[in-house]
Amino acid sequence: MNVALQNLSNSMSDYKRATFHDEDVPEPTGEGATSPDTVEVGFRKGRGHILGALGGRSQPEVLLGALSAVLGVLLLGSLIALGVQQMTDRSRSLCLSEACVSVAGRILDSLDRGIDPCQDFYQYSCGGWMRRNPLPDGRSRWNTFNSIWDQNQAILKHILENATFNSSSEAEMKTQRFYLSCLKEQRIEELRQKPLTDLIEKIGGWNISGNWRGENFMSVLKTVSGTYRATPFFSVFVSADSKSSNSNIIQVDQSGLFLPSRDYYLNKTANGKVLDAYLQYMVSVGELLGGSPGSVDMQMTQILEFETLLANLTVPQDERRDEEKIYNRMTISELQSLAPAFDWMDYLTFALSPLDLNDTEPVVVYGKEYLQQVSELVNNTDPMLLNNYLVWNLVQKMSSSLDSRFEKAQDKLLESLYGAKKSCTPRWQTCLSNTDDTLGFALGSLFVKSTFDKNSKNIAEQMISEIRDAFELTLGGLTWMDEKTRRAAKEKADAIYDMIGFPDFILDTKELDEVYDGFEVSEDAFFQNMLNFYNFSAKLMAEQLRKPPNREQWSMTPQTVNAYYLPNKNEIVFPAGILQAPFYAPTHPKALNFGGIGVVMGHELTHAFDDQGREYDEDGNLRPWWQNSSLEAFKNRTECMVNQYNSYTVNGERVNGRQTLGENIADNGGLKAAYHAYKSWLVKHGEEKQLPGVGLTNNQLFFVGFAQSAQRLQFDSDLKKLLEHSENRELGYVVLEGKVQAVNEALKSHFKPHLQAVIQRYQVTEHRLLWNSLTRSWSESKQVIHEQVDAIPFQLSPLEGSGDSVLISKPLNATGLCLETVHEEFHIPSPGFGEVFRHYLSGEKPTGLLETEEILPVGAVLTGIGRLELDPQGMLTLHLPQDGSVYFLSLDGYEAVLDQQESIAGFWKKAAIFCGVLGLSFLFITLYRAYRRYNNNHKTEESWSGEDHREEHSLIEETESPERTCVVCISQPRECVILPCGHVCCCFLCYQALPTPSCPMCRGYINRVVPLYQV
C-alpha cells in the first residue's frame, strides 16, 4: 500500500492540493448550482435527481406537475380502496368456516369442469368423482349409498373387533358373538359340508345326494318354509291388513324363483350365459353335497326346468302395480279350495305355531291365479322332483353359511349376473351384513351410540315439515285435481308420520334384550346360529298375528343407508345411516342439505301419492278416495311419464317405464318439493353465504348437491353391449387383463420351435472395447448391428369362462412392453495377428457378438391400458388413446403396473419439490446479496455526502499524525476510490479538488467513482 501511495504521489504532482474546511466551501449561487472549481460527486441522494430535473422548469409547470401527482395519488388510492371494499364484500358473502372449505373441496373434486352443464349436467356434476373412484373389487356397481354403507361397516367393525368390548346389554353381546362366529373361517372350513348334509338328513333326505327316504311333500314343505323361512312356491308373512290397517293378517304371495326376475328364465336368448352359469352352480353344489356327477347334472336340469315353469306362471311386476286388483281376502277354507295341492290348515298351523287357527281364519292372497296354477303344476309333477326342488330351496339359502368351496361355486353365477364375484368381498364385510340381517337393531344400538348426533333428529324433522309445506303448496296449484280430492290429499300429507334416526327402544337395555330374547347365539357355531335365527324369526312372525300393528315398529335398521315409505301405516322413515354427508350434515349449507337429504325426504313423501301409494288413505287403508275426474287426469299424466321413460335405455337395456313408474314419480316430485322448500327457507332466512372457490350460486349448488348425492358407477360384464350404447361406441381409457391369443397362425421361436409367439424380436449386438487416449484406458461400447421384429395380429381372451376377446392394435407402439427372453448367446471372436495389429492401430477391439431372441408368448397374461372401441364389424379393439394418455401393455399384473406408475409419479413429484426448494434458495440468496450490495452502497453514499462528513474529515486532518496523511493532499485519508480507468485516488478530497473530471494519471474522463474501501 505504501508503494502504491508513493507512485500515486509522484504521478499527481499537478494535482491541486486543498483542505476541506468550512471557510473553503463555496457559497451556492442557486438551487443545484456548483462552483466552477469543483466537480459533482456521483454518490448523490435520490431527491437530488428529482430536484435537478425540476431545476429548469417554470413555477406554473412545477405547480401543474405537483397537482397532477397529487391527483394521481388520490385516484390510485380510490381504486385501491374500491378494490379492497369489493374484496371485503365478497369475503363477507363467502362461508369460510372449516366445514364450508372442506365441503367445497369435496364438491370441486367431484366436478368435471370440462363438461358443459347445459349439455350433460350429470357428467359435469359427477365426472370427477367417477374418475377418482374406480369400482372396488367384487362390486358391479358403486354409488353414494354404497360408499356410506362401507363407512358405517368400518365403524361397526372397529366396535365389534375391539378386544375390550363389553356391554350390559345381552343383545349387544349376542351381536359380537354372532359376528365373531362368522369370522372363524378355520372352524367353518373344518366342518365343510357336514352341517348342511346333517340338516338334509334330518328333514328326510335328498335324492340328489342319494339318501331320500320317500314321498313326504307336506312335511318337507312345512320344515323348509315354516321353520327355516325358505320360500318355495309362495311366501307367507304376517303384516297389517291393507284394507284394515289397525289389524294384522296372514298374507300369501307368489315366490319360488332363485334368479332375480322371471325374465332370466323366459328370455333364454338374452340370458343364456346366466342360465348356463346357474345350472353349473347347481351342479357344483350338488356334487359338493355328495351327489354323483352324472346324476346331479340330470336332476339339477330338471329342477331348472321346473323353476322355468314356475317363472311362466309368475305374474310380471309391472302387472301387479294396482294393489286393488291383486288384493284378495278369503278364509283358509277358501284358500284350500283355490289351491288344493297344499294342505293349508296343516301348513299354517305349523308355520304359526303355537297359535290356534281354524278354517275361517282370514288370509289375504296377492297371487290368486298364480296359486291356482301352481297347485295344478304340483299335482302334475313327480314327487321326487318336488322334493328335489324343495330341498334345493333350503340348500341355496344355507350354503352361503358353509366353507369357501360353496362361495367359489357361486362366483361364476354372480359374475354372469352382476359382473362381480362374492369372493372379492372381504370376509368381515360379509359377516357384518349377516349380523345386520339377524341382529340389526342391537347392532344399530352400537352404531347410534358411537356416531349419531341426536340434534340431527330435530333438524331433519324441521326439514320434513318444510318439504311437506312445499308439497302441499304444489297440491294447491294442480288445476287438474278437484277440490274434494285436493282436501283429502292434504289431509293425507298432514297425517304422514315421520320417524328419524332410530327407534327409542334400542337405547333401552331392557327393551332391546327382550326383543332378542329366545335367539341363542354361540361364538363357535355360525351355521347353527343362522338356523336359530330363522327359527326365531318364524316365532316372531307368529306372535304378531294376534297383536295390533305397532306404528313405532321399524322395517329398517338404524345403520342402513336408505329410507322408505310404508303405505299401510302412512309413515316415512329415515334411519341414522343416511343422515350423513353427502346427503346431510348440520354444518353444510342449506342448499346442499335440501339438495341431498331434502330430495330423499321429498322422494319418500311423494311415494304416498304415486301410482300405488295414492290408493291408500291417510290411515293407511286401501280404499278409493279419489274422485273419478281427478283419477282419470292422474292416469293420463302418469301414462305420459311411462312413455317418456320407455324411450330411455340404460347399459343397453330399455327402461320399463311402467314397472319403474312409482320411483319415477317419486324422483321428480321429490326434487320439486325439496327445491320449493329451499326457496321458502330463503324467503324466511335470507340468502346464505356461498362456498369459496366453487363458483356456483346457491341455487346451482342445490342441483349439483342433488346430482352428487346420486353419484353412481356401474360395470356391465358384456363389453359389447356396454360399448354399443356408449358415445362413439368407445370407452376413452380402460384397463383389460387377458390371455394372449394369436388371431391366425402363431410365430415360432427360431431357437425353441415349441414356443409360439405373437411378437418376436431377433437382435445381434456387437460388443467392443475403445481406447481412450485421455484416460489411457479401454472402455466398453455396444452397438446393435442387426435387428428383426416380427408381429402378427393378436387378441386378449378372458382369463376365466366365456366372454368377448379384444384385438390389440399397434402393440409395438405401446409403453412398458417387456418381451420374454428365450435365447441369449455370446459369440467370442478368434482374431489373427493382422487383426490384432489393426485393432491396436485403430484403438477398437471387438470382444464378441450377443445374439438374443425375445418373444411375447401365446398364453401369457397381458395387462392392456388404452382406448377400447367397438368397430362396425362388432370387433373389440384396444387402441392408442386419443387424448395423449399412455398406451400401455405389460406382462405384469394391473396392481404391479399401478405400483410402478405411482412410484415413477412419486419420484418426479419429489424431484419437482427438490428443484422448487433449490430454486427458491437460489432466489433468496440472490435477493439477499442484492440487498446487501444496495445497503452497502447506500451507507457509502451517506458517508461521502453532507457537511458532517466534511467536518469530520477536517477534524481528523487536524488531529491525526502526519505519518498517515495522504501523499497528495497531506491530509488523513478516510476513503479510497477507484476511477473508471482503473487508477486509485487515495483521498476523496483530492478527487473532489480536481479542476476537470479527468484522471490525473491518464487523463481519462471520470463519469463515476467506486469506493474501494472505507476506514
Catalytic residue among 667, 688, 730, 844: 667
Which residues is 984 bridged to in the sheet? 978
Task: Tell me the DSSP string of 657-717.
Answer: TTTTHHHHHHHHHHHHHHHHHHHHHHHHH-PPPBPTTT---HHHHHHHHHHHTT-EEE--S
Lookup: cell for 125: 356434476
Summarize the chain as % helix, strand, coil (round to 5).
50, 15, 35
User: Distances from the Cα of 353 to the Cαs of 227, 249, 390, 458, 507, in angstroms?
Assistant: 10, 15, 21, 42, 31
Say if residue 392 is exposed, middle or buried (CB neighbours under 10 Å; 0-12, 13-18, 19+): buried
Spell out a b/e string for 315-329, using b for 16 or more CB atoms within 10 Å of the CB, else e.
eeeeebbebeebbbe
3-state secondary structure of 844: strand
667 in catalytic set: yes
What is the rounded distance in angstroms from the CA atom of residue 198 to the CA atom of residue 689? 66
877: enclosing H helix or E strand: strand 876-879
**φ/ψ of residue 875, rounded to 5:** -95, 135
- Can you give the three-state secondary structure of 200-227, one letter per residue? HHHCCCCHHHCCCCCCCHHHHHHHHHHH
Cβ atoms within 10 Å of 764's Cβ, excluding its own: 15
What is the rounded distance in angstroms from the CA atom of residue 396 to the CA atom of residue 381? 21
User: Distances from the Cα of 335 to the Cαs of 183, 325, 363, 413, in angstroms?
Assistant: 44, 17, 8, 37
What is the rounded distance in angstroms from the CA atom of residue 782 to the CA atom of residue 785? 9
Closest among 251, 322, 274, 327 to 659, alpha carbons compared: 322
User: Distances from the Cα of 362 to the Cαs of 55, 348, 358, 798, in angstroms?
Assistant: 116, 12, 9, 56
Closest among 223, 227, 207 to 215, alpha carbons compared: 207
540-548, long-range: CB < 8 A, 24+ apart: 541/237, 541/238, 541/352, 542/238, 542/351, 542/352, 542/353, 542/354, 542/355, 544/238, 544/239, 544/248, 545/238, 545/248, 545/249, 545/250, 545/352, 545/355, 546/248, 546/355, 547/248, 548/246, 548/247, 548/248
3-state secondary structure of 177: helix
Instruction: Output DSSP code: residue 595.
Output: I
Lookup: cell for 644: 317418456
Name residues whose C-beta falls within 8 Å of residue 188's C-beta, 6 or more positions apart in sequence: 401, 402, 403, 526, 527
Name residues whose C-beta falls within 8 Å of residue 719's C-beta, 6 or more positions apart in sequence: 803, 804, 806, 868, 870, 876
Catalytic residue among 241, 407, 571, 604: 604
Lookup: cell for 687: 340468502
**φ/ψ of residue 179, rounded to 5:** -60, -45
> Where in the sequence numbering do the catalytic residues fall?
604, 667
